[in-house]
A = this chain, B = another copy of it.
Amino acid sequence: MPARNTVQRSIIEDELRRLANHPTADEVYEAVRAEHPSIGKATVYRTLNLLSDEGEIGRVRINNGADRFDHQAFAHYHVRCVECGRVDDVMIALLDEGVNEAAAEASGYQILGHTLQFDGVCPVCRAGEKNDGASTA
């Protein structure tokens, strides 16, 4: 396959693992640039795309705009805070295969997989709005 083992590539992969959470491509870029100012944004985007295509890393598409990348390649679910936009892992059992089969029957599609994303309020934001109502930033 492709993949030439460049320095940039491991730097980016490293940084992603270090950020550990679910950074956007731009956040990875900023982090990388902090230590290696000469690395270009395009390289970060290209590399992240490459890695996720290869299955080395995961990509989480969130309702808030930017894609986020996940250092964990194996399938798992995510939850997004509707208040602050943070994204965390949801380590619950994967849905039964029967769900995919039911979807195939209901839609006529050949189902390749699924994505389950939860929406909620993270512990921090819950604490911050003890009261309720008006979400003031």
Contact = CB atoms under 8 A, between A and B. Distances in A.
A81 B109 CA distance: 8
The size bracket of the interface on A is 35 or more
B118 A113 contact: yes
A25 to B, nearest CB: 14
A90 B119 contact: no
B88 A92 contact: no
A107 B90 contact: yes
Contacts of A99: 92, 95, 116
A5 interface: no
Nearest to A62: B61
Given A88-B109, A95-B95, A109-B123, A100 B118 contact: yes
Given A79-B103, A89-B107, A115-B118, 12 more contacts: A61-B62, A79-B111, A88-B109, A90-B106, A92-B102, A109-B120, A110-B126, A111-B119, A112-B119, A113-B120, A114-B118, A114-B119
